[in-house]
Structure 1
């Protein structure tokens, strides 16, 4: 009866600890410029893809 009474507390605590641990896997963004709109995000993504393509072409040529 006592274990059942504290069951939700244990479940909530375990999920909170797992969530806290998983936040360490998130990327660091404090010194990066982040887009404000979806359009800016798409433009940033296209720009990064173009840079990656040019880098791949450069490395495959050498």
Structure 2
């Protein structure tokens, strides 16, 4: 999960978005975005995919 979080953080910063902006665009809470980026908590797969889609990232099964 931390690898995904790092990718999300880097892509968000590259896009010039704050966590709150990304949360609004993805339809999730800012707390969920923070949990994804830090690899903490237990965000749903749907939330992770939604955030990744906003940033143009692809989530694939390993």
On whether the aligned pair clears a TM of 0.5, the verdict is: no
- Alignment TM-score, normalising by the size of structure 2: 0.26
Q: Which has the higher contact order (CA 8 A, sep 6+)?
A: 2
Which structure shows the higher helix fraction?
Answer: 1
- Alignment TM-score, normalising by the size of structure 1: 0.26
